[in-house]
Structure 1
Amino acid sequence: MKINERSKFIINELIKRNTYVTASEIADLLQVSIKTVTRQLVNVEKILNENDLILERKTSKGMQIIGTEEQRQKMLEQIQSNGLHEYSPVERQNIVLSHLLKSQEPIKLLTLAKLLNVTEATISNDLDKLETWIKKMNMNLVRKPGLGIYLEGLEKDIRKAIISHIYKNLHEKNILNVLNKQEKNIKLKSGTDKFLLDLVDKDIIQKVEKAITTVVERENYNLSINAFSGLVVHLTLAIQRLLKGEIIKIDTKFLTELKKKKEFDLAFKISEEIAKVFDIVVPEEESGFITMHLLGARNNYQEGTINNYDNFALIKIAKKIIAIAQEESGIFIAKKSKLLIGLVKHLGPAATRIKLNLEIRNPLLNEMKEKYPQWMKLAKKAAKPLEEKLGVNLPEAEIAYLAMHLGSTLEDASLQKARKYNVLVACPTGIGTSKLLASQLKQKFTNLNIVAIVSAININYEFYQNEGIDFIISTVEINEATIPVVIVNFMLDDKDIDNIIHQMQLLPDENSGEYHKDNKSLVEKLSELNLFGFYIKSILKNFFYQDMVNVNSKEELCSFVSIYLLKENISQILEADLKSREEKGSTIIKDLMLLHTKSKVIQNLTVGIIQLEKSLKINEKEISTVLILLVPDKVDEKALETMGVLSESIIENTNLLDILHQGSKAEIYLELEKIYTNYFKKKYKKVMEG
């Protein structure tokens, strides 16, 4: 039996891992959608059954191959020796469409039939199936006996079709890496990928990416990764078409309106840079084309978009959407200001995209349809006010965006009535990464009560079991733990969130216990506040700042910090402690490095900032600013909590990172004072009222 390339890859991956693997993980490896993987599994299951193997599937766990070692090895040998390429109907149709979109000349049926090793009748049948999609793209499929087949349509529709075809089959988050073929771990997994990549000229896309980066950085204009990726792909195709003499046409009146937008200035500068790089004349219409994409990609609504909707109009629509969602779900969310603000920010660009008839992509569309059909159904009903205002039905991609906004708020609201879980957050020291993690957990889960932040190597299990701890969330492995542990990254990703939810589902519905502290006397409360004040004073008093530090490695950085802070006879101990902590993994947040540890030679809580003379490459990121957090080896939880406030603030305080990167010593110190003033006020209220 012939086995296509994707089936080979999936079978090989499942046998190699010999454990449960999710469709999402396979999709990431193949850079395709989950839907594509699910479709391929039908073929995979058939192949496995013919070889006396079973594809076992379990909800929330994934899938794995069941069979003897001998059967699995025999299957591996078969797929490795199977050198014949047999494309599935979907893969074959993708290849045919790629050729039609790329070619400016008619293509013979016989040419495509030979290429794909099928009959002309099969190709003709594939074309019948493609025709619906082609018409949806406002194009015609022309078949002329004796001459061949070709696509007929306006330049803007052909470009839109090419882009839609690429994004439909290549994973959104890796689009530029795949098209550039820059990352070593990205390989072409099937013949269809090759034909998709042939639609985009590699040399052109690299030059375009550089040209856009040059202008965007020079003009200090912010673009999201997806918006930047989309603009690069759009412009690359535009240049390829320009070089072939294909020019986009925009209505003169509409172009005049576009030229009034401030985005047109940036678009014009990008066009100038493109013209210089490629030594071509870029028509004004192309600047209008770029402007449309800048308008449609904006993350925040601003007045004066092409729709001319003011904030008041968008707020009215958003409130109507929320009212419908509330009525349909039975969950009260009308007073969720975060939801209203999020919807208003989204509706402006959404209306622009629809008005300008831009290609709307949502990389999570398939996942939303598969995992959250109830939110998609609800969002479809709630979208009516926007549809009535625009006079069109919203595409599925936009419905999915609304579902994401509404669904997360509705889930949070329903969780508030659900069981609360008492958890510990752990990292190697209990200083830096654990606080970063705790901050994100508070944002993601309303039903988690973080009882304490602890060091993973020193947990009093008996004490915390008695206090009703349900499980531990840790950034490192914990051996011989007597409380369930969920291992996550210090910067939470979707898989980590799924694992935490899975752990909640494993626990009984009733709380194992309720964490509470004994009632304290006034003297005890004042002593506790005095201790927090002492630790804050220690941090501010021992704050240090040093710029123009010249080091060539992480090891040299650890050595510099140790010698800078301590006498020579004990600095080596701190250096060893810092290096030991770094061996467990560096902590990098948006180009800021956290260098932190516990050490017996540190006497007081110490915070410092080091600005490097030249950047260091750590974890594939260029680092120029280092935040130092040091605590004595034996300190209580209150000291760790006080020090951890800074780590937590990096996630919650959007201005702090800028100040740490660019501020003077005095400016950074003032920011520390603000942070700890607010912290002490909250702590005072909690201790006195607790």
Structure 2
Amino acid sequence: MYITARERILLEILVHASYDVSHVQLAEATSVSVRTIQRDLKGLQRTVRFFGLNLIRNKDQTISLQGNKEELLNYLQSMETTEYTTEERQGLLLVRLLNSKEPIKLFSLGSELGVTTATVSADLDKTSRWLETYSLEIIRKRGYGIEIQGLETNKRRAMSGVLSSHLTEEAIYEAVYDNEVQGQIIERLLNIVDTAMIKDVLLTVRHVKEENFPHMVDQSLIALIVHATLVIERLRQGEPIYMDQDQLEALEQMEEYTLAVKLGRALEEAFSIDLPPEEIGYFVMHLRGARISGSNEIPFEEVNAELIGRIKQLIRGVEEELNVKLYDPSLVQDLFAHLKPALYRIRQEMKIANPLLDRLKQNYEELFNVTKRQAEIIFSPLLIPEEEIGFIVLHFGSTLERSKRSVELSALVICPSGIGSAKMLASRIEQEFPEVNSITNVSMFELGSYQMNNYDLIISTVKMENERNAFHVSPVLTKEEVRVIRLFIDSLQVERPTDIEEFPEYIERSPFDDIAELSAMMKAFLQSIHLFSSQAVWQGIEKSMQWLEGKGYVTRWQDVALTLRNREKVGGLAIPDTGLVLYHARSESAVTPFFLLIDLEEEMKLMSMADKKEMVERIILMVAPASLERYKLEFISYVSTLLIGSKQQTDIFQKGNQQEVKQMLEKECRDYLTMFIQKGEGPS
């Protein structure tokens, strides 16, 4: 079966998603428009049907895969991809040209990448603009071929840049420690830098790092490892290394020079090579440009008063524009630790990737724009690129989102993107989950030193396999990710304080709090909708309860089933003249309200609410937590009235499939929420 590169990305997203994915998210992931995604879905539907799956397209512009995904997942993992995404192809193109000593024919490049010469030509137009930032130029001559011209220094920086942007922390970790390589682009790039050598370089660099620069973040460590590996391979091939003599002399006067010498000597001993002075100079540049996390020993007020002054001006400017309070000594220190190497990188035209940039600009638009505007004023005439602005926004965002901690759970946070991302994620965890009072931040390379079973919760920005309490999230922690983690935390049956005097900040609630909570509850309620079939009533109820426990909606399914049995003893539950029976209750073991349907394989006679026997075809299960605010209970009551609402609604409950019932309830939820907002009422 032929699957394009974009289809591969879409399928990988959908097959791993535990929630409905929006058209916008798919468009962002594949760098195309929403309209293109909508066109692609028809072909995608045909592809998934081949694997016995159904592509569910919801009215709210979200998509999900329905069915057993195992066969599709196995196929995606085993397939040999013959087509690259645009970004992958351009990355390979750059590496090929930067690594070549001679011009390469256009036709040869097209053959290697499996595309037409016209596509290669278009890719060259785009990559040439990227190369300009490194003062490099693509030369194209008919009959001569294609080559990159410029200083060797700049070629080395560009090669390191393109490799580091594709060889992520997760990819390096998998290749070095798991002996697995996920993705053909990664496999081809790792052929440029030998995996075995990367592992040896990593061990050598880490040994020096632990003693001399322990707070370097994974992203900078990867760049340094890639650079050092390329150096060793070039030296072994007898290639000369160049650097302007004046630049080298300036680098030798910098404070990082001593560390660079230590690193060089360690590599010389490990690989039996002789590093020239120029290479020590390149190490100085990497160390000066490295991003440092968690350093608490920098006497920043004394070392760089001018930079501290500008940082304080930046904070004041953002505070005034947004009318918020940001200033905190730890924020100043964190920004200093980030900006000191960042400003050096900018002056040296050293590029840095920020994979969170697009999401930050979208989710924190006002904060991003204000920070960018203030940075342009404060640091003028130096222009701060948007990638660095994004990291500054992460620091500001983490400060804005700090909230009261509780005293219940411990969390291990694995976030290799740096202190800004780690703090942002930690603060989001604190804000959303007051039960978490202990947070430990680690990188992927430090993971082996920690016992994961010592933590109640593991939250990681890279995938963790075979850990029940591990959650793969983004550093900004989306609402859907919050919902999934919330269900898990609640399933731990943690006892929460109920005395309102312990939480005085909760006394005054805004109506917006109620709107947000009601909306979140509705979303979880709609996602719980599922259709089962069963030969008998209680066989179906117990099967569905076990399914709910696996999804995190209930903590002990046996308790909920017992509550429903006790409710059945009180009186009939069948709804007259509908063929429906409604099992409903409130239970301590219910985490959030849910709604299930069970079709009986044969009609059964059950006692009705009118104390008569009724023929029943479908069971409806609707359970809510024992403790639930009145305005939330009112919504649950409203849903129960829909069962005997209009004839059209009753018909859907009677005969509709899972999707039809869900679509009808989605509309009712939107209408109810609109009414709730217009009333502007909170809990009475």
On the 8 A contact 1:14/1:65 being kept in 2, the answer is yes
CA distance in 2, matches of 1:11, 1:491: 18
Post-superposition Cα deviations, 1:58-103, rounded to whole Å, max 9, x if no partner, equal 99xx954357x59x99989998999773444444333322321222
Post-superposition Cα deviations, 1:281-336, rounded to whole Å, max 9, x if no partner, equal 3111111111121122263599999xx99422122101210121012212233x43
1:8 corresponds in structure 2 to: 8
Amino acid at match of 1:209: L
Helix, strand or coil at the partner of 1:516: helix
CA distance in 1, matches of 2:149, 2:291: 32
Counterpart pick for 1:250 among 237, 243, 247: 243
Counterpart pick for 1:49 among 6, 21, 42: 42
Post-superposition Cα deviations, 1:549-569, rounded to whole Å, max 9, x if no partner, equal xxxxxxxxxxxxxxxxxxxxx
On the 8 A contact 2:164/2:223 being kept in 1, the answer is no
Counterpart pick for 1:121 among 110, 118, 131: 118
Distance 1:214 1:384, change over 3 A: same
CA distance in 1, matches of 2:176, 2:426: 38
Amino acid at match of 2:112: L
On the 8 A contact 2:425/2:477 being kept in 1, the answer is no
Cα deviation for residue 396 of structure 1 reads 1.7
2:330 corresponds in structure 1 to: 338
Counterpart pick for 1:195 among 183, 188, 191: 188
Counterpart pick for 1:105 among 95, 102, 106: 102
On the 8 A contact 1:45/1:55 being kept in 2, the answer is no
1:183 corresponds in structure 2 to: 178
Q: How does 1:524-603 map to 2 (within 5 A)?
A: none
Helix, strand or coil at the partner of 2:3: coil
CA distance in 1, matches of 2:132, 2:339: 28
CA distance in 2, matches of 1:219, 1:55: 54
1:396 corresponds in structure 2 to: 386
2:348 corresponds in structure 1 to: 356
Helix, strand or coil at the partner of 1:149: strand
1:239 corresponds in structure 2 to: 232
On the 8 A contact 2:345/2:351 being kept in 1, the answer is yes
2:152 corresponds in structure 1 to: 155
Cα deviation for residue 55 of structure 1 reads 6.1
1:144 corresponds in structure 2 to: 141
Cα deviation for residue 244 of structure 1 reads 4.1
CA distance in 2, matches of 1:162, 1:267: 20
1:92 corresponds in structure 2 to: 89
Distance 1:147 1:203, change over 3 A: farther
CA distance in 2, matches of 1:254, 1:200: 27
TM-score, reference length from structure 2: 0.54
Amino acid at match of 1:187: V
CA distance in 2, matches of 1:256, 1:283: 14
Cα deviation for residue 139 of structure 1 reads 0.8
Distance 1:75 1:48, change over 3 A: farther
CA distance in 2, matches of 1:76, 1:216: 39
CA distance in 2, matches of 1:271, 1:262: 15
Q: Does the alignment pair 1:407 with 2:406?
A: no
Post-superposition Cα deviations, 1:131-161, rounded to whole Å, max 9, x if no partner, equal 2222232111112222311111111211221
Q: How does 1:584-623 map to 2 (within 5 A)?
A: none
2:500 corresponds in structure 1 to: 515
On the 8 A contact 2:398/2:424 being kept in 1, the answer is no
CA distance in 1, matches of 2:352, 2:74: 43
Cα deviation for residue 106 of structure 1 reads 1.3
CA distance in 1, matches of 2:262, 2:205: 9
On the 8 A contact 1:2/1:82 being kept in 2, the answer is no
CA distance in 1, matches of 2:56, 2:411: 39
Post-superposition Cα deviations, 1:415-466, rounded to whole Å, max 9, x if no partner, equal 7xxxx9xx97656xxxxx4999xx999965776896999xxxxxxxxxxxxx
Q: Percent identity?
A: 28
Cα deviation for residue 181 of structure 1 reads 4.7
On the 8 A contact 2:201/2:228 being kept in 1, the answer is yes
Amino acid at match of 2:181: K
Helix, strand or coil at the partner of 2:260: helix
Helix, strand or coil at the partner of 1:223: coil
Post-superposition Cα deviations, 1:457-506, rounded to whole Å, max 9, x if no partner, equal xxxxxxxxxxxxxxxxx948xxxxxxxxxx97699995878568559999
On the 8 A contact 1:318/1:340 being kept in 2, the answer is yes
Amino acid at match of 1:402: I
CA distance in 1, matches of 2:236, 2:411: 54
On the 8 A contact 1:297/1:349 being kept in 2, the answer is yes
On the 8 A contact 1:303/1:311 being kept in 2, the answer is no
Distance 1:450 1:332, change over 3 A: closer
2:64 corresponds in structure 1 to: 65
CA distance in 2, matches of 1:243, 1:82: 35
Counterpart pick for 2:367 among 366, 375, 389: 375
Helix, strand or coil at the partner of 1:143: strand
Post-superposition Cα deviations, 1:210-257, rounded to whole Å, max 9, x if no partner, equal 332343456685533333222111211222333444444334344333
Counterpart pick for 2:321 among 308, 328, 341: 328
Helix, strand or coil at the partner of 1:65: strand
Counterpart pick for 1:209 among 197, 202, 207: 202
CA distance in 2, matches of 1:194, 1:148: 27
Cα deviation for residue 380 of structure 1 reads 0.6
Distance 1:136 1:223, change over 3 A: closer
Cα deviation for residue 166 of structure 1 reads 2.2
On the 8 A contact 1:376/1:399 being kept in 2, the answer is yes
On the 8 A contact 1:6/1:40 being kept in 2, the answer is no
Helix, strand or coil at the partner of 2:139: strand
On the 8 A contact 2:164/2:222 being kept in 1, the answer is no
Amino acid at match of 1:158: K
Instruction: Tell me how large the CA RMSD over aligned residues is.
Output: 5.0
CA distance in 2, matches of 1:183, 1:24: 33
Counterpart pick for 1:228 among 221, 237, 254: 221
Distance 1:100 1:9, change over 3 A: same
Q: Does the alignment pair 1:269 with 2:262?
A: yes
Helix, strand or coil at the partner of 1:280: coil
1:20 corresponds in structure 2 to: 20
Distance 1:90 1:212, change over 3 A: closer
TM-score, reference length from structure 1: 0.54
CA distance in 2, matches of 1:279, 1:98: 27
Helix, strand or coil at the partner of 2:353: coil
CA distance in 1, matches of 2:73, 2:213: 53
Counterpart pick for 2:170 among 171, 174, 179: 174
- In structure 1, stretches of 5+ residues that fail to align are 27-33, 428-432, 454-473, 477-486, 507-511, 519-690
On the 8 A contact 1:155/1:247 being kept in 2, the answer is no
Cα deviation for residue 11 of structure 1 reads 1.7
1:531 corresponds in structure 2 to: none
Cα deviation for residue 397 of structure 1 reads 1.6
Distance 1:176 1:87, change over 3 A: closer
CA distance in 2, matches of 1:452, 1:407: 19
Helix, strand or coil at the partner of 2:98: helix
- In structure 2, stretches of 5+ residues that fail to align are 47-53, 414-422, 438-454, 458-467, 488-496, 504-684
Q: Does the alignment pair 1:315 with 2:311?
A: no
Helix, strand or coil at the partner of 1:383: helix
On the 8 A contact 1:54/1:66 being kept in 2, the answer is yes
Cα deviation for residue 199 of structure 1 reads 2.9
